Amino acid sequence: MNNIDAKTHVRGQSIYLDDIPVIQGTLYAACFDSPMAHGVIKQLDISIAEQSKGVIKVITYKNIMGENQIGGIIPDEPLLAEHHVHFCGMPIALVIAETDEDARAAVKKIKVDIDPLPIITDARAAAAKGELIVPPRKFKLGDTTKAWNECAYIFEGTTETNGQEHLYIETQGAYAVPQENNSIKIYSSTQGPTAVQKTVSKVTGLAMHQIEIDVTRLGGGFGGKEDQANTWAALCAVAAHILKRPVKYALHRMEDMRMTGKRHPYSSDFRIGLNKDLKIMAYEATFYQNAGAAADLSSAVLERTLFHCTNSYYIPNVTATAYSCRTNLPPNTAFRGFGGPQGMFVIEAAIAKAADKLGIDKTVIQQKNLLQTDNELPYGQKLVSEAHECWNKADELYNIDKIKNDVENFNKKNNLYKKGMALMPICFGISFTNTMMNHARSLVHVYSDGSVNISTGAVEMGQGVNTKILQVAAQIFSINPNKIKINTTNTFRIANTSPSAASATADLNGKATLIACTEILNRLKQLTAEELKVDVTSIQLKNEKIIVDGKETELDWQKLVMLAFTKRVSLSEHAHYATPEIYFDKTKEKGHPFAYHVYGTAIITTTIDCLRGTYEVDSVKVVHDFGSSINKAIDLGQIEGGIVQGIGWMTMEEIIYDKDGKLRSNALSTYKVPDIYSVPKEMIIHFLHTDKDNLAIFKSKAVGEPPLMYGIGAYFALCDAIKAFNPSADIKFDAPMTPEKVLLNLYKKNSIAVSGVPIAHQV
């Protein structure tokens, strides 16, 4: 089935926040944000801005009638700065004006005098000063201290991974419209309508039942709108509540890049030990997460780094420690993979280092240590593994040795271009790591004409979740999909939602929809049994026909629904689903946190230009564990997008803050994301069919986050190509591997001279 949004998307008819027709009297907001990363506000002068053309009011923390607090997990983040600023881009004041232009012009007239305080931008520096967001976490399996004795080889190293700008095509924004009796309706570009509702409740002092959040769809989220959509909705709500007029704020791209947090950069240390047979016997890792100036979701992201610190490998002795470090950067936040990719990069680097020092192929160590069913992970969960299946199928379909030979042959014949290859197996746990968040609700109405309207907590952000939910209902009722409409996500229809995140949205909301539809279906069958005087077990609804004992009856879907209506049978259901089997004990750091795991193996090949340091990703060949996909087109889209986004993070997207904590890569001219020319020249995705996981909706496994991590393979494929040119290059594990870094590594000082390369190109 096609994505139900396809037609309106290509016609430009899909409604995003900025497309909502505004109500007469709507005012526009713009934020004045801190020009300094750390300091004490001595004086704030809003007087000139207040007199500026079209300005209705300039709001500061003093005007907030509720609590000036938006911290989700930890209350450590004011909505508007009071006396301290903690990062460049921290909101200080909000101008409300008749037009967008007037508001932004007035922002420029605000003056602030800040006494500077020392600025920390580096995670390790913050940890050294004891600047931690939460106490450190430690996951342990076996005993690494003892295990080092069993190791024939031990290697150590450090790694860096940079952040990543979400770059959703639709920037952050909100539109708050006052309703009667002090209540308020807010259209928000958010992954988490309930988080917005709670935050607005806190800052306005209104109870949650007075606050309606409505979301039609997002132009991308990627985690950036899981928590950080709250700010803009809260600002609009405060202004609308004070002024009793609708207030809208849609951020400009540079405001968005400057004021919002990104993927967490990590600095990490590793120590890996292998026995003579190249089995990894021990692994120690220490992660320093750059959290930015406030907690946001950092502690949860930190936890997922630990969950995925051994990626797709079984290691019997593991000690992994993680620090969430407070720095003077915008609070970093969720980003596709949620800390998992950062953890996986480190184990891949450790294996690469071991392979390099032992003079063997990285793939040999990877393959020997792949997870098997019933292996225990450091957090205590034993798995059903598809790791070997994915790897072996990739070998069978794509022939790993042949790819390796082709790369070697190319490199023998070419001096100015070199190829490299890498394999990237993945294992990603599906569920919110916070067990209490794994639940959802669905509200299904069947109207008397037989059409169906469904509301859930799922937010459509381009990932196709609405299409999947529609498919669930169409299958249970066995009716034409065009009889079904998926509603906007609305906190008055569906309460207490978890954000659309953790790849779990289709599973959670799909299962709730399945339950609701099944309840209604059972009532319809019961009615049929009474009406036709047949046994209920003999009744089937198929293609809108009512079948009894395999024979068509005079009843069809439409007639049966109308009959139910006249007989006063309920045609609506509100169902609740909570993922069974999962739990986690934080005091022991053990449990069964995931409903299931998603596996896969990617083979990535790259070509580098050894004069320029530029490169191309030649191919990404994947065997991915989809379970039993209910929508291959949507799942393929998620895989392809995830891979390209992962490659972007690992190879070209470079966030640069200067030592004053100012974002230098603050526009698309200085921050390079993959474009159509940088996508792999070839992407082949094989759907591995697996059927062991009943907690996936119709056994169709979650697909949102896992494929991003295939991109890590691109980093190591580039290292491999660099080594082909400069075998002695001691390449630092420092992602992204930008063309500049490739070039420097190609000509590192103690490199072996390669014939045919002009000396002028050595640096």
Q: What is the DSSP letter of 271?
A: E
Among 283, 287, 335, 710, which residue interacts with ligand MOS (rule: CB under 6 A)?
A: 335
Least distance CB 708 / ligand MOS (angstroms): 9
Report in angstroms how near the CB of residue 503 gets to ligand MOS at its nearest: 7
Does 203 interact with ligand MOS (rule: CB under 6 A)? no
Question: What whole-number distance in Å separates Cα of residue 512 and Cα of residue 111?
Answer: 52
Instruction: With CA atoms as reference, report the closest residue to 3 among 477, 461, 337.
Output: 461
- Residue 297 or 371: the one with the smaller Cβ distance to ligand MOS is 297
- For ligand MOS, what does the binding mask look like between residues 282 and 321, x meaning CB under 6 A? ----------------------------------------
Q: How far apart are CA 583 and CA 550, in angstroms?
A: 44
Give yes or no for residue 336 binding ligand MOS (CB under 6 A).
yes
Q: Give me the phi and psi of 632, to 5 degrees please.
A: -65, -35
Identified binder of ligand MOS from the candidate list 338, 428, 477, 596, rule CB under 6 A: 338
Place of tokens 């209506």: 565
Assess 226 for contact with ligand MOS (CB under 6 A): yes
DSSP conformational letter for 382: B
Q: How far is the CB of 263 from ligand MOS (least distance, A)?
A: 9
Looking at the Cβ atoms of 431 and 726, the one nearer to ligand MOS is: 431
Among 191, 216, 466, 509, binds ligand MOS (CB under 6 A): 191
Two tokens at 343? 């953890």
Does residue 386 interact with ligand MOS by CB under 6 A? no
223 lines the binding site for ligand MOS (CB under 6 A): yes
Is residue 162 near ligand MOS by the rule CB under 6 A? Answer: no
With beta carbons less than 8 A apart as the criterion, state whether 303 and 264 touch: no
| Side-chain-side CA neighbours of residue 496 (13 Å) | 9
Q: Does 334 bind ligand MOS (CB under 6 A)?
A: yes
Evaluate whether 52 touches 104 at the Cβ level (below 8 Å).
no
User: Is 502 a binder of ligand MOS (CB under 6 A)?
Assistant: yes
Residue 184 or 334: which CB sits closer to ligand MOS?
A: 334
Quick one: which segment of 332-340, 534-542, 598-606, 611-619 binds ligand MOS (CB under 6 A)?
332-340
> How many residues bind ligand MOS, per CB under 6 A?
9
Stretch in the footprint of ligand MOS (CB under 6 A) among 32-40, 65-73, 329-337, 659-667: 329-337
Which range of residues in 19-27, 331-339, 357-365, 741-749 is near ligand MOS by CB under 6 A? 331-339
- Smaller CB distance to ligand MOS: residue 249 or 335? 335
Residue partners of 736: CB distance under 8 A and separation at least 6 = 162, 649, 650, 651, 652, 653, 654, 715
Residue 345 within binding range of ligand MOS, rule CB under 6 A: no
Cβ-based neighbour number of residue 286 at 10 Å = 20
> Min. distance of Cβ 283 from ligand MOS in angstroms?
25
Closest to ligand MOS by CB, 168 or 314: 168
> Which amino acid, residue 657?
Y
Token pair of 352, please?
């690469």
Hey, which residues does 268 pair with through a beta bridge? 159, 287
The answer to whether 29 contacts ligand MOS (rule: CB under 6 A) is no
Q: Is 501 in the site for ligand MOS (CB under 6 A)?
A: yes
CB 602 within 8 A of CB 619: no
Q: Which residues contact 566 (CB under 8 A, 6 or more apart)?
A: none
Catalytic annotation, pick one of 165, 170, 255, 705: 705
Closest to 594 measured CA to CA, from 417, 377, 403, 395: 377
Backbone φ/ψ region at 111: left (φ over 0), alpha (ψ -120 to 50), beta: beta
Nearest alpha-carbon partner for 352 in 265, 403, 280: 280
> 303 catalytic, yes or no?
no
Looking at beta carbons only, is 107 or 430 nearer to ligand MOS? Answer: 430
DSSP string, 225-267: TTSTTHHHHHHHHHHHHHHTS-EEEE--HHHHHHHS--SPPEE
Tokens for 450? 């037989």
Nearer to ligand MOS, 223 or 648 (CB): 223
Nearest CB to ligand MOS, comparing residues 229 and 403: 229
Using the contact rule CB under 6 A, the part of the chain among 264-272, 330-338, 559-567, 718-726 near ligand MOS is: 330-338
Least distance in angstroms from the C-beta of 153 to ligand MOS: 36
The reply on whether position 32 binds ligand MOS by CB under 6 A is no
408 Cβ contact partners less than 8 Å away, ≥ 6 residues apart: none
* Entry field: residues in the chain: 763
By annotation, the residues acting in catalysis are 705
For binding to ligand MOS (CB under 6 A), which residues are involved? 191, 223, 226, 334-336, 338, 501-502
